[in-house]
Amino acid sequence: MKRFITYITICLVLLLCASVYATPVSRSDVATTATAIEVDTNALQLLAADQLAALGAYGDVYYVDSGAGGSATGLDWTNAELTIDAGIGDCTADQGDVIFVAAGHAETFAAANAADADIAGIKIFGLGVGESRPALTYTTNGEFVIGADDVEIHGINFIAGNGVVHAIDVEAGSENWVIDNCRFWTTTVNTDEFIDCIDAAAAADNGRISNCHVEMGAASAVSFFTNVGCDYVEVSNNFIAGDFSTANIVDVTTASIWMIIKDNILINGTVGGTAGLNTVAAISLKADTSALIMDNRIFCNVENAHLAVVAADGLLSGNTYIEAEGTGSAGFGGMGRKNICVAQTGTMDSTNYGAGLQPIFTVTGSIICRATGICTANMSSDSSETLTLGVVGDAACLLASDVVDGIAFRTNDVWTLTQQCDTPSAETAGEWVIVANSLDIGLTVDDADMAAGTMCFYLEWYALSPGATVVDAAL
């Protein structure tokens, strides 16, 4: 019955909001009425928040407001606690207590454990929007600690001073934590930073960081999130930008089990010009950390797209990478979009295909690829010519070396990296080859004695660098 009454109360609050906004207003009373609506709707928002908390949690509700002037019992807004840590101290473990922090609340965090969420099973909600949300401004030693299981933090602004080690420390063994819809930024761009915005110690398992907005400028930040051996941690739907010396998301010291990193925008470097993008990864995990890394948009300036994520034991799918302005993205992890380029040769005689590497495909940028050749007319030579397909310095990296000897290279014979061109069927080579830095792909002929025949070459390829292309260059 109590839950039903609460539900009816919420409905009445919403109806009252609608009636306030629907009331006709004369032109002369616009300013006065707008102010009244703002006051009324703020009050209604807080009332609805209280009722929703009562509906969703069976514990107590406490209030925090640095501007309150009452007796600081935390039992209502008039008598709200003045600090978040005091509000935490009012709670009882494992009964689902909720703390509401008022819009406009402000604290300076100058010491370790300035707020210590050491009561299990509590939720902390910041009210307000944008810069009106509760603001915690840090000096060098400031720290917000999660020191118990089942703690959630929502809707708080964390503002860094110079050289602040961490905004939030999740202590070892504190499980099932949530940091959601928070913002991390700096007091002064280019001089202030959290060295690591969030640091989770060993066995702080089953955590989630979601829907956060991060702007760390261009100072001395190392990472946004450093995971020290925490299992089943999810980092999702965040905007994370900063001049991170290691990576936006880092896993160090101890391997973790099944990290999930998905649907994030990750910018490593300074925004507003690719010269400021860092030449280090956006995600860097230990080699034996298992992870699902999916559908992230990554901006940094590494040698090729696959180096934007360092995760030897990770499963990657649907990620994209950009390092240059005005270009499209390169897909990786699931390999993005596959392309096929076809090159049909003309007559392979000594005029068109003399000794040395003869062009078949012109490559711009860096790609990962594999090739297949199909003989479309019998080949012949005045001597037994040896043919390979590859690049300068590795002439047979794409198709196996074979000899035009009257047996191989007959019409419909198939040529792969693992099979010579002497049968009309073949398994496609499973191994992919990276062709870097605009090296062209060509057919190498050992002598200038080709007489006749034609080939059709098929190149399956994926872009590694933004804007990479492959075009037919066969004669």
Which pLDDT does position 331 carry in this prediction? 59
Which pLDDT does position 28 carry in this prediction? 41
Burial, 442: exposed, middle or buried (Cβ in 10 Å; 0-12, 13-18, 19+)? buried
Which pLDDT does position 350 carry in this prediction? 84
Indicate the residue type of 397.
Answer: C
Sequence-distant (≥ 6) Cβ neighbours of residue 342 within 8 angstroms: 456, 457, 458, 459, 472
- Full DSSP string of 43-112: HHHHHHHHHHHHHH-SS-EEEE-TT--S---SSSSTT-BSSHHHHHHH--TTTT-EEEE-TT-EEEE-ST
Gap between the Cα atoms of 409 and 452, Å rounded: 11
Q: Contact at 8 Å (CB) between 414 and 425?
A: yes
Which pLDDT does position 124 carry in this prediction? 98
Helix (H, G, I), strand (E, B) or coil at 442: strand
Q: Contact at 8 Å (CB) between 72 and 79?
A: yes
Gap between the Cα atoms of 242 and 198, Å rounded: 14
Which pLDDT does position 353 carry in this prediction? 85
The residue behind tokens 């596959």 is: 338
Computed on alpha carbons and rounded to an integer, the radius of gyration of the chain in Å comes to: 31
Gap between the Cα atoms of 157 and 153, Å rounded: 11
Gap between the Cα atoms of 347 and 378, Å rounded: 10
The residue behind tokens 């096929």 is: 340
Which pLDDT does position 247 carry in this prediction? 95
DSSP annotation of 325: T
The residue behind tokens 């992919």 is: 432
Reported as a single tens digit per residue, the pLDDT across 14-69 is 444 444 334 443 434 434 433 443 444 444 455 555 555 544 546 999 999 999 99
Which pLDDT does position 277 carry in this prediction? 86
Gap between the Cα atoms of 360 and 472, Å rounded: 6
Gap between the Cα atoms of 438 and 367, Å rounded: 9
Q: Contact at 8 Å (CB) between 452 and 379?
A: yes
The alpha carbon dihedral of 221, 222, 223, 226 has a sign of: negative
Largest CA distance in the chain: 103
Which pLDDT does position 52 carry in this prediction? 52
Which pLDDT does position 10 carry in this prediction? 46
Q: Contact at 8 Å (CB) between 214 and 197?
A: yes
Reported as a single tens digit per residue, the pLDDT across 248-303 is 999 988 889 999 999 999 999 876 655 578 889 999 999 899 999 999 999 888 87
- Looking at beta carbons, which pairs linking 5-8 to residues 24 or more positions away fall under 8 Å? 6/51, 6/54, 6/55, 7/55
CATH of domain 59-332: 2.160.20.10
Helix (H, G, I), strand (E, B) or coil at 464: coil
Q: Which residues of the chain have pLDDT under 50?
A: 1-44, 54-55, 57, 335
Which pLDDT does position 222 carry in this prediction? 94
Terminal Cα-to-Cα distance of the chain (whole angstroms): 84
Q: Contact at 8 Å (CB) between 406 and 395?
A: no
Gap between the Cα atoms of 249 and 212, Å rounded: 13
Which pLDDT does position 6 carry in this prediction? 45
Sequence-distant (≥ 6) Cβ neighbours of residue 110 within 8 angstroms: 138, 139, 141, 142
Helix (H, G, I), strand (E, B) or coil at 214: strand
Reported as a single tens digit per residue, the pLDDT across 448-463 is 788 999 999 999 888 8
Gap between the Cα atoms of 397 and 431, Å rounded: 10
Which pLDDT does position 428 carry in this prediction? 65
DSSP annotation of 411: T
